[in-house]
Amino acid sequence: MQLSKILVAASALLSTAFAAPPTTRDNLPTFNIWNNCSYPIWVTTVDRIRYSTESINPHGMWYQNLYYDGMTGTSLQIARTPTGVDSLSEPILNAAYTYNKAEKTLYYDLSTVGDRGYPFPGEMLLYYAAKDPESYVTWNGSIGEQTTKAYLGGETDLMLHLCIIV
């Protein structure tokens, strides 16, 4: 129970501490990744097609607009090396969402790819909808439970904080 209170407080703190970067572009909600790790990470967006891999520097921030793909959801695959998503063995964190603007629904979940393990051993992460920070997913140093969350209150940004310190 105490960990729950700490995580909610950390979530609120992180939301306000990192409020300076833009959270919307073209009036659309965004997917935001804060790399609080001491090393770079790489993110690849995958839906019906695979997009180019982009790096996020240590203590850097990255975002893209959420978008609706009528055939699939969207997966942001995060690895610790530039070729991690292409590897058949390196650990990949999979932060996925399904956004439907017309229906005002956003479903999101966190998992790893296959049996490859957790790419951030010993590091804590936090994943949540900005307008609903109390409904969060947290993994504390190892693979957590695969959990799907829903935000049904309209549009909101998604926030993923890697390597957070509580």
- Quick: pLDDT tens for 132-143: 988 899 999 888
In what helix (H) or strand (E) does residue 129 lie, and over which residues does it extend?
strand 124-129
Query: Model confidence at 25, in pLDDT bands (50, 70, 90)?
Result: low
- Please state the φ and ψ torsions of residue 94, each to the nearest 5 degrees: -115, 105
pLDDT digit string, tens, across residues 77-95: 999 999 998 888 899 999 9
User: Is pLDDT of 164 > 70?
Assistant: yes
- Please state the φ and ψ torsions of residue 127, each to the nearest 5 degrees: -135, 125
pLDDT > 90 in the chain, percent: 57
Q: Comparing 111 with 147, which gets the higher pLDDT?
A: 111
The residues with which 38 forms a beta bridge, in sequence order, are none
pLDDT value at position 166? 66
User: Is pLDDT of 52 > 50?
Assistant: yes
pLDDT value at position 139? 93
CA gap 30, 22 in Å, rounded: 9
Least confident of 11-15, 106-110, 111-115, 128-132: 11-15
CA gap 88, 100 in Å, rounded: 32
Average pLDDT of every residue of the chain? 84
The two three-digit tokens of residue 20, written as one number: 């300076």
Q: Which domains does the chain have, with CATH numbers?
A: 2-164 (2.60.110.10)
pLDDT value at position 163? 96
User: 158-164 and 30-35 as β-strands: parallel, antiparallel, unpaired?
Assistant: parallel
Contact call for residues 75 and 91 (beta carbons, < 8 A): no
The two three-digit tokens of residue 65, written as one number: 């607009």
